[in-house]
Amino acid sequence: MSSRYGEVYGRWCSDPEGFWAEAAQAIHWYRQWDEVLDSSRPGFHRWFRGGVLNTCYNTLDRHVLGGRADQIAVIYDSPVTRVRKQITYRELRDEVARFAGVLVRYGVGRGDRVIIYMPMVPETIVAMLACARIGAIHSVVYGGFASNELATRINDAQPKIIVSASCGLEASRVIPYKPLLDGAIDLATAKPEHCIILQRPELEAPLVNGRDMGWAAVMAGSQPVDCVPVEATDPLYILYTSGTTGVPKGVVRDNGGHAVALAWSMKNIYGVDPGEVYWAASDLGWAVGHSYIVYAPLLHGCTTILYEGKPVGTPDPGAFWRVISQNQARVLFTAPTAFRAIKRDDPAGDYVGKYDLSCLRTLFLAGERCDPDTLVWAQERLRVPVIDHWWQTETGWPVGANCVGLGQFPVKPGSCTKPVPGYDVRILDDHGRELPAGQIGNIVIRLPLPPGCLPTLWNNDAGFQASYLSAYPGYYQTSDAGYRDEDGYLWVMSRTDDIINVAGHRLSTGGMEEVLASHPCVAECAVVGVADEIKGEIPIGLVVLRAGVDRAQEVIISELVGLVRERIGPVASFKIAAVVKRLPKTRSGKIVRGTIKRMADGAEYRIPATIDDPLTIEEIGEALAGLGYPRR
């Protein structure tokens, strides 16, 4: 099949508004938009202004009325509970309408916020879509975050209601959610009026009188409510992502552009047709879970898989292959870290041969750059195209991809192929000058961003401007570095700030440093992300103790690891730290974190000319060697 990419990308370039107006015909509108693109406020462009729709109607009601009522909408597959459940579009619509009625009964309306702190269960999807049904704004918080992280999100979103569960489950343990939720509410200055708690049979949680209500109790006798029409520019959800200061940024997603972009992406990028089974093996708390477990597949009329399990250990490295084969998934979308874990436990790929995977057409990887070895390993064993594509929480859908639906290009391991129609990607130097092919620079996107991308940050236009628009006027700053080769392929190589990617989770090293620095024995510290075979990157800490501290260093390090786990959560994967006499700094007092990272990764480095004392570099080298670095 020859690629139509050039023709489609050219059509977008020549008439972007006409391109997206045509794509918008796939969505049901109560009222047509007044203008496709509102450019009246540069940098804060809005798509389909004046248009009126409802996202829940487009994901559920439209399909029920259009002949898909009895098609499976969601397959819930939980190896940890040994439950597999199929939910039709009609069943999901009815459950969502009833839970929307619960929210309305307790005072939630259009524009109100609802925080969802839930595990990978169907009720999480129900809660998300119920908010969309009544025009409320949901904010899903990953269940692995600790109380103080949840509290910051409560304070920023100021939810009227929090929806949670008694626990989350992993292969070998039960994770109580309710103590974390109670602790977060105690810490937060903004208090929710009510909490709705899904009691799971593995652990029942005590409820707070007057505030907490059980899911089953509130759903008993609840009356369904209809979809509420909302403006295309109204927020659908807020999704918090790490900021460079450690303070989370509330990425806003609107209703209109989001629905148009995601519906377009399913066929044109992923090559999926309505009625087919699509699996994004991610978590509902992340951008991938929002976009490609819930909204995009349901907008497109697909069957989506909700998997409560791991790539290994639930029960073995064949877990993914079992899910694909049993559920006849056509496309798998996951993070490279999942495949590195599978490869670690089953290097020869023996488990692949135990299942019939003839249904699988394509594997997509994203969340971090996939190393070529892992991509080739997957390609050789699955014998399907393995597509590494690139996007961000902020964009909400792919920026660079091998658009399978337009006719696939040859795969170049390590490259995300080419910019997706809608994105004008450029490579600039630090002075804003465009760089030629082959030269690494700052990856930026020429404004306006396409539909589906963030229009701003929640209640923080100034922060949006400062974080994304100020460095290169007229462009969105991705904070990623890379280059474009002679064939026009895009290579995304690294982050340009201190956000590290741990198994696809973007985390701030600055936030971790803040936690370490709070320990009474620590005078100063540095956290850097270093390469890791399984997780892509992991954080390591270097700490300088206060004068006069005579406690055992091993005890202090253990306390620091526990502190990060408590305040940020296990997702940080912070387990390695060392005590050093001093940190290498420039004369202006800046810690040379980039140099430390290169040393730990075994990469070539130069001692910065502005270093205050070159001997500190030698001392850091000795400390890293004691931790087992560099590793190649």
Which secondary structure element, helix H or strand E, spans residue 513, and what is its range?
helix 509-517
CATH of range 499-626; options 3.90.226.10, 3.30.300.30, 3.30.1340.30, 2.40.110.20: 3.30.300.30
- 97-113 residue pLDDT tens: 999 999 999 999 999 99
Q: Say which range, 54-63, 75-84, 616-625, has the weakest mean pLDDT.
A: 616-625
Which secondary structure element, helix H or strand E, spans residue 451, and what is its range?
none
Report how far residue 118's alpha carbon sits from residue 167's, in angstroms, rounded to the nearest whole number: 8
Measured from the Cβ of residue 355, the count of other Cβ atoms closer than 10 Å reads 16
CA 132, 456, 481: angle at the middle one, nearest 5? 115
Number of residues written out for the chain: 632
- 60-77 residue pLDDT tens: 999 999 999 999 999 999
The per-residue pLDDT for 501 is 76
The per-residue pLDDT for 496 is 66
Q: Tokens representing 601?
A: 């990764």
Beta bridge mates, 476: 445
Percent of the chain with pLDDT over 70: 95
DSSP secondary structure, 333-385, as one string: EE-HHHHHHHHHH-TT-GGGGGS--TT--EEEE-SSPPPHHHHHHHHHHH-S-
Confidence of residue 144 (pLDDT cuts 50, 70, 90): low
400-to-379, 421, 506 alpha-carbon distances in Å: 20, 9, 18
- 347-376 residue pLDDT tens: 889 999 999 999 999 999 998 777 777 888
Identity of the residue numbered 432: G
Report how far residue 609's alpha carbon sits from residue 595's, in angstroms, rounded to the nearest whole number: 12
Identity of the residue numbered 448: P
Residue environment code for 595-616, b if the CB has 16+ CB neighbours within 10 A, otherwise e: bbbbbbbeeebeebeebbeeeb
The better pLDDT of the pair 260, 502 is held by 260
Mean residue pLDDT of the chain comes to 92
398, 399, 400, 401: CA torsion to nearest 10: 30
Report how far residue 236's alpha carbon sits from residue 74's, in angstroms, rounded to the nearest whole number: 21
Report how far residue 265's alpha carbon sits from residue 258's, in angstroms, rounded to the nearest whole number: 11
Q: 589 burial class (0-12, 13-18, 19+ CB within 10 angstroms)?
A: exposed
CATH 1.10.3720.10, applies to 5-309+389-478 = no
The per-residue pLDDT for 291 is 98
The answer to whether 504 and 241 are in contact (CB under 8 A) is no
The per-residue pLDDT for 592 is 81
Report how far residue 330's alpha carbon sits from residue 397's, in angstroms, rounded to the nearest whole number: 19
Confidence of residue 440 (pLDDT cuts 50, 70, 90): confident
**In whole angstroms, how large is the CA radius of gyration of the chain?**
24
Domain boundaries, the chain: 5-309+389-478, 499-626
- 287-337 residue pLDDT tens: 999 999 999 999 999 999 999 999 999 999 999 999 999 999 999 999 888
Residues 6 or more apart from 338 whose CB is under 8 A from it?
281, 311, 320
> Ramachandran region of residue 513, left (φ > 0), alpha (ψ -120 to 50) or beta?
alpha
Confidence of residue 390 (pLDDT cuts 50, 70, 90): very high
Q: Say which range, 184-198, 246-260, 381-395, 582-596, has the weakest mean pLDDT.
A: 582-596
Q: Is pLDDT above 50 for 29? A: yes
Identity of the residue numbered 114: V
Q: Is pLDDT above 80 for 423? A: yes
